[in-house]
Amino acid sequence: MNERVEPAGAASAPETRRARLLERARALRQAYLQVFGIPDYAGYVAHMAVRHPGEKVLSQREFFACAIDRKYSMKGPRCC
Amino acid sequence: MNKTASVVLWPAVAIVGAISFGLLALNRGENVSAVWLVTAALSVYLIAYRFYSKFIAEKVLQLDDARVTPAHRHNDGMDYVPTNKVVLFGHHFAAIAGAGPLVGPVLAAQMGYLPGTLWILVGVVVAGAVQDFIVLFVSMRRDGRSLGEMIKIELGPIPGSLALVGVLAIMIIILAVLSLIVVKALTGSPWGLFTIAATIPIALLMGIYMRIIRPGHVGEASIFGVVLLLASIIFGRTVAEDPTWSVIFSLTGTQLAWALIIYGAIAASLPVWLMLAPRDYLSTFLKIGTIVALALGIYFVAPKLAMPQLTRFIDGSGPVFSGTLFPFLFITIACGSVSGFHALISSGTSPKMVEKESHTRLIGFGGMLAESFVAIMALTAACVLDPGVYFAMNAPAAVVGTTAENAAKVISSWGFVITPELITQTATDIGETTILARAGGAPTLAVGMAQILGQALGGKTMEAFWYHFAILFEALFILTTIDAGTRIGRFMIQDMLGHVYKPLGNTEFLPANVLATVLCVGLWGYFLYQGVVDPLGGINTLWQLFGVGNQMLAGIALLLCTTVLVKMKRERYVWVTLVPTAWLLITTLTAGLQKIFSSDPRVGFIALAERFSTAVAQGKVLAPAKSIEEMQRVAFNNYLDAGVCAVFVVLVLAMCVYALKISLQALKQAQPTAVETPYMAEPKGAGA
């Protein structure tokens, strides 16, 4: 489930049981967000930290607004 | 899995499947348990997935995990996100599963359970899952482009534009038919209407919570949303029993049609976060939850199939829809077997999230198998009902009349013995005043679900709750589709208008937005309104029009897949897409041409239109029309429906010609000519 952990995030490899459980809970939460298409702010922050360090990161409010608007303004029709 | 286990396991699955089919097909007299139907379906899915999808993945498409997917190439943390394959399977399934697989199988149940089951299973393996899988693959190899764009690139600009016209026409018809299902379910049902109306303030409240009070906390908002929804179902009974409120919430079909038209125009003009997004989340949660509950319910309760294997209505005289088994079964059950709409989803968000090429097998092929399973459950729910009840709900008033006594008499004369008491008792059990003229699948499925879930949880006293829960769940995602579909329709209309007069294509330009919204709502609203007032029209006409359109779109998507395979120089395997393409073309062209030209007025649009216009010329009024004006309306609408059907037929024939031309050119080339995003190898360690 943790295939989406970016290389830098993986550096803090969970050593204790507690950390492993937390990691597991985080992955489950992310899976739930992705299945239902809910914008994943934590994933976005992690992505920015790895791919675009130093760049401005949107606040949770900004990110959510932007992601929802994009999701529903896409041209693709939905299903029957 | 190790080899020995595999050698034992797969024959075992095959044997279980064969036994299930044997029980379903050879049983005489006694009613079979629905568990066998579901088990037979699951065995087919497992075998098809294990063997056929593997063959397509390895030999036909030659999926290459070393090749970078768009999710990695463009990883932006928002649209392009490499996603775990099981998670993406769930996401894709939630996106493709809609009202379609719930409606078609219920309507097709009038021919018995066997024809529908066989077409759902054969269709999904040979056509539906193949289409979804290959379109997903083709789009993934082209940076997640949409179906329209891919047709433009691979087949040329004219076929690209033709495909867009076809998609818009199908959108309009589906919005009309889905709205009509809601109208049929809610006419004169204060309980149902109250709960559906309550979803509007609930969604607005959630929207404000998610955007302003606790930004991004969809989970919290959804929890209180679901609690409020359940409360509104329980409170709905009080509304229905109250003498004043029950009158306020009892609307006629015409009033409901107008309400939906106005709702569509307003909803599509609100910001997406206010109503569309929260409602979409709510309906997705309910959808997944209900599907799981229904599957568990069927296994747990093991209801008996009350509908026969085959009914006499395979001869085309059925009351739910007219037309013989071939070709009309194959257009009535579209979603669940093969749905052109999925080609639009498979070229939407999913290809942008695929982590590795090999994952498309589970997501595309597996996702469609899961949707097919939903169709099988809908068919099961319709077939466990007493056939008399089924026909009472789905036959039009023109055939069975408007009283329980009359309906029982007519339906019993068909050989499905039923008493008027059972009809009224069923209505009382579900907390409604009548079950007559509730065509459209949703109410039938709701009664079936209420009986299954009622047996599992709560017994008879809970049936009314489960019925309204099922109606709410279907209406909720139909309303979401009306909102989102109107927005997409507006966007496409603006795109087309922009070619005529540039400022009209500007999506930031308010007057152009309003014009396109009104046009879009006006178009589907027209078909909806006619479906409500036309005594001979309605679901039986519109659903077939939708079926023809949807299957034609599937034909177009498969023509694209076929052309791409030829252009990739994989012509050896072209039968994988060519066989389903041919079958879809044969069934839909036959159905389309019969709908236009059949001399039987129950089937042919023109025959019916002529019958009515001739009578108008002689000043005669034909039942069930009541005035010359109604007669003229019937005639006009049938000419219009014939025209829409003709557009679909011409479109698909034109696509055939283009696909053939391009494929023949590609065959002469020595090198592959498909236009893919250039190959890029996965860098070591990327996307780990």
Q: Which residue of A has its CA nearest to B686?
A: A7
Does pLDDT of B584 surpass 70? yes
Q: Do B219 and A38 touch (CB under 8 A)?
A: yes
Out of A64, A69, A80, the one facing B216 most closely (by C-beta) is A64
Chain A contact probe: residue of B488, B495, B520 with most A CBs at under 10 A: B488
B167-187 b/e with 16+ CB inside 10 Å = b?
Answer: bbbbbbbbbbbbbbbbbbbbb
Collect all residues of chain B within an 8 Å Cβ-Cβ radius of residue A40: 81
Collect all residues of chain B within an 8 Å Cβ-Cβ radius of residue A25: none
φ, ψ for residue B308 (rounded to 5)? -65, 170
CB A6 within 8 A of CB A46: yes
pLDDT at B383 (0 to 100): 95
Collect all residues of chain A within an 8 Å Cβ-Cβ radius of residue B174: 80
Token output for B683:
């860098």
Out of B90, B146, B341, the one facing A79 most closely (by C-beta) is B341
Q: Do B91 and A35 touch (CB under 8 A)?
A: yes
Q: H or E stretch including A4?
A: none
Out of B87, B488, B546, the one facing A77 most closely (by C-beta) is B488
DSSP string, B67-89: BPPHHHHS--SSSS--B-HHHHH
Out of B178, B355, B485, the one facing A77 most closely (by C-beta) is B485
Q: What does the angle CA B234 – CA B240 – CA B243 come to, to the nearest 5 degrees?
A: 140
Collect all residues of chain A within an 8 Å Cβ-Cβ radius of residue B99: 80
Out of B84, B171, B284, the one facing A36 most closely (by C-beta) is B284
Cβ neighbours of residue B317 closer than 8 Å, sequence gap 6 or more: B602
Among B128, B120, B6, B132, which residue's Cα sits nearest to residue B61? Answer: B132
| Least confident window among B5-9, B149-153, B537-541, B609-613 | B537-541
pLDDT at A23 (0 to 100): 87
Residue A53 pLDDT level (bands cut at 50, 70, 90): confident
CA atoms of B553 and B592, how far apart (whole Å): 13
CB B642 within 8 A of CB B596: yes
pLDDT at A9 (0 to 100): 46
Pick the more confident residue, B514 or B624. B514
Q: Which residue of B has its CA nearest to A71?
A: B79
Q: Do B216 and A60 touch (CB under 8 A)?
A: yes
Residue B398 pLDDT level (bands cut at 50, 70, 90): confident
Whether the link from the prior residue into B624 is cis, omega within 30° of 0, is yes
pLDDT tens digits for range B171-191? 899 899 999 999 999 999 999
- The single-letter DSSP state of residue B316 is T
Chain A contact probe: residue of B87, B174, B347, B520 with most A CBs at under 10 A: B87
Helix, coil or strand: residue B612 = helix
pLDDT tens digits for range B200-250? 999 999 999 999 999 888 889 999 999 999 999 999 999 999 999 999 999
φ, ψ for residue B416 (rounded to 5)? -105, 90
- Contacts of range B607-610, beta carbons closer than 8 Å, 24 or more positions apart: B608/B536, B608/B634, B608/B638, B609/B634, B609/B635, B609/B636, B609/B637, B609/B638, B609/B639, B609/B642, B610/B635
Beta bridge partners of B83: B354
Which residue reads 């695929």 in tokens? B354
Collect all residues of chain A within an 8 Å Cβ-Cβ radius of residue B90: 31, 34-35
Which residue reads 């007299």 in tokens? B29
pLDDT at A12 (0 to 100): 52
B403: exposed, middle or buried (Cβ count in 10 Å: 0-12, 13-18, 19+): middle
| A37 to chain B, closest Cα gap in Å | 7
pLDDT at B5 (0 to 100): 84
Give the C-alpha distances (Å, rounded to integers) separating A4 from A26, B64, B351.
11, 20, 17
Q: Do B100 and A79 touch (CB under 8 A)?
A: yes
Q: Which residues of A touch B (CB under 8 A)?
A: 1, 3-5, 7, 10, 30-32, 34-41, 43-44, 47-48, 51, 60-61, 63-80
Collect all residues of chain B within an 8 Å Cβ-Cβ radius of residue A74: 348-349
DSSP string, B610-678: HHHHHHHHTT---TT--SHHHHHHHHHHHHHHHHHHHHHHHHHHHHHHHHHHHHHHHHH-SS----PPP
Whether the link from the prior residue into B327 is cis, omega within 30° of 0, is yes
Does pLDDT of B3 surpass 90? no
Q: Do A78 and B216 touch (CB under 8 A)?
A: no
Q: Which residue of A has its CA nearest to B83?
A: A4
B618: exposed, middle or buried (Cβ count in 10 Å: 0-12, 13-18, 19+): exposed
Q: Do A77 and B171 touch (CB under 8 A)?
A: yes
φ, ψ for residue B435 (rounded to 5)? -115, 0
> Which amino acid is present at B334?
A
pLDDT at B685 (0 to 100): 47
CA atoms of B164 and B182, how far apart (whole Å): 27
Share of chain B above pLDDT 70, in %: 99
CB B187 within 8 A of CB B253: yes
Q: Do A76 and B342 touch (CB under 8 A)?
A: no
Helix, coil or strand: residue A73 = helix
Q: What does the angle CA B14 – CA B15 – CA B21 come to, to the nearest 5 degrees?
A: 90
Beta bridge partners of B354: B83
Q: Do A76 and B347 touch (CB under 8 A)?
A: yes
CA atoms of B211 and B70, how far apart (whole Å): 30
Share of chain B above pLDDT 90, in %: 71
Q: Do A60 and B348 touch (CB under 8 A)?
A: no
pLDDT at B639 (0 to 100): 94
CA atoms of B407 and B160, how far apart (whole Å): 49
| A50 to chain B, closest Cα gap in Å | 11
Collect all residues of chain A within an 8 Å Cβ-Cβ radius of residue B82: 3-4
pLDDT tens digits for range B262-317? 999 999 999 889 999 999 899 888 888 888 888 898 988 999 999 999 999 999 99
Give the C-alpha distances (Å, rounded to integers) separating B235 from B191, B239, B242, B466.
8, 7, 11, 14
Collect all residues of chain A within an 8 Å Cβ-Cβ radius of residue B481: 78-80
Q: Do B277 and A71 touch (CB under 8 A)?
A: yes
Q: Do B488 and A78 touch (CB under 8 A)?
A: yes
Q: Do A76 and B87 touch (CB under 8 A)?
A: no
Q: Do B216 and A1 touch (CB under 8 A)?
A: no
φ, ψ for residue B551 (rounded to 5)? -70, -30
Which residue reads 């360690």 in tokens? B685
Q: Which residue of B has its CA nearest to A30?
A: B87
A:B CB pairs within 8 Å:
146
pLDDT tens digits for range B76-102? 877 788 999 998 999 899 888 888 888
Residue B684 pLDDT level (bands cut at 50, 70, 90): low
pLDDT at A13 (0 to 100): 54
CB B79 within 8 A of CB A47: no
Q: Which residue of A has its CA nearest to B208?
A: A65
Does pLDDT of B364 surpass 90? yes
Residue A73 pLDDT level (bands cut at 50, 70, 90): low
| B99 to chain A, closest Cα gap in Å | 6
CA atoms of B314 and B545, how far apart (whole Å): 19
Collect all residues of chain B within an 8 Å Cβ-Cβ radius of residue A37: 91, 94-95, 284, 349
pLDDT tens digits for range B508-518? 888 999 999 99
Q: Do B345 and A60 touch (CB under 8 A)?
A: no
CA atoms of A27 and A45, how far apart (whole Å): 15
pLDDT tens digits for range A15-35? 788 888 998 888 888 888 888
Q: What does the angle CA B671 – CA B130 – CA B148 come to, to the nearest 5 degrees?
A: 70
Residue A5 pLDDT level (bands cut at 50, 70, 90): very low
- The single-letter DSSP state of residue B620 is -
CB B473 within 8 A of CB B290: yes
Give the CA radius of gyration of chain B: 25
DSSP string, B443-494: HHHHHHHHHHHHHHTTGGGGHHHHHHHHHHHHHHHHHHHHHHHHHHHHHHHH
- The single-letter DSSP state of residue B124 is I
Out of B81, B94, B488, the one facing A75 most closely (by C-beta) is B488
Does pLDDT of B447 surpass 50? yes
pLDDT tens digits for range B248-275? 999 999 999 999 999 999 999 998 899 9
- What's the N-to-C CA distance of chain A in angstroms? 31
Q: How many residues does chain A have?
A: 80
Among B633, B453, B460, which residue's Cα sits nearest to residue B537? Answer: B633
Please list the alpha-helical segments (H only) found in B324-462: 325-332, 341-346, 360, 367-383, 387-394, 397-400, 404-413, 420-429, 442-456
φ, ψ for residue B141 (rounded to 5)? -75, -5
Q: Which residue of A has its CA nearest to B547?
A: A80
Token output for B174:
């589906």
pLDDT at A78 (0 to 100): 46
What's the whole-number mean pLDDT along residues B577-594? 96
Collect all residues of chain A within an 8 Å Cβ-Cβ radius of residue B339: 79-80
Mean pLDDT of chain B: 92
| A16 to chain B, closest Cα gap in Å | 22
Out of A44, A60, A64, the one facing B77 most closely (by C-beta) is A44
B353-375 b/e with 16+ CB inside 10 Å = b?
Answer: bbbbbebbbbbbbbbbbbbbbbb
Pick the more confident residue, B367 or B509. B367
Out of A3, A68, A79, the one facing B277 most closely (by C-beta) is A68
Rounded to 10 degrees, what is the CA torsion of B420, B424, B426, B427? 150
pLDDT at B541 (0 to 100): 86
Residue B654 pLDDT level (bands cut at 50, 70, 90): very high
CB B570 within 8 A of CB B585: no
φ, ψ for residue B305 (rounded to 5)? -80, 120
φ, ψ for residue B83 (rounded to 5)? -125, 140
B548-570 b/e with 16+ CB inside 10 Å = b?
Answer: bbbbbbbbbbbbbbbbbbbbbeb
Among B599, B594, B595, B565, which residue's Cα sits nearest to residue B580? Answer: B565
CB B367 within 8 A of CB B92: yes
Look up the pTM and report it. Answer: 0.91
Collect all residues of chain B within an 8 Å Cβ-Cβ radius of residue A72: 272, 276-277, 280, 484, 487
| A21 to chain B, closest Cα gap in Å | 19
Does pLDDT of B555 surpass 50? yes
B350: exposed, middle or buried (Cβ count in 10 Å: 0-12, 13-18, 19+): buried
Token output for B106:
């219920």
CA atoms of A57 and A44, how far apart (whole Å): 9
